[in-house]
Amino acid sequence: MERSNAKAVSKRLKEAMGKRNIRAKDISKATGLSPSVLSHYLAGDFAPQHGNLTTMARFLNVNPAWLIGFDAPMDAVGIQDPLPIESKAKIVHYVDHEMNKEQLDKTLRFIEEFILDEKK
């Protein structure tokens, strides 16, 4: 992506993090993105590749098109994510020093499956 897109992603990423009360540390821990890469995204040094963009958008529950600067709704309407961002953030805060990335991923998948089963 171009530098102008990097600045748009930076602005939108900060906005989403503020509205969701999410820290860079939370995104890094939950997504596996390194703190230094995330720092570059936040500074607008470069824009994320598609995979990292999608990963961050899903965690923040925002529309990936909005995240890269398009005139689109912020919220990820129509993207099925059974675990609300507030719950994800609480889990990340709680397990920050207790679980590694693999354990956290397994825990989040279990909770998502549980919620989906409960909705049936």
pLDDT in tens, 65-87: 899 998 888 987 665 555 666 66
Domain enclosing residue 94, as ranges = 3-119
More confident residue, 59 or 104: 59
Question: What 3-state DSSP class applies to 41?
Answer: helix
Flag whether the pTM goes above 0.75: no
Which pLDDT score is estimated for 97?
59
How much is the average pLDDT of 94-110? 72
HSE-CB for 76 with a 13 A CA cutoff: 20
Number of structural domains the chain divides into: 1
User: What would the pLDDT profile of 27-58 be if each residue is shown by its tens digit?
Assistant: 998 888 999 999 999 999 999 998 899 899 98
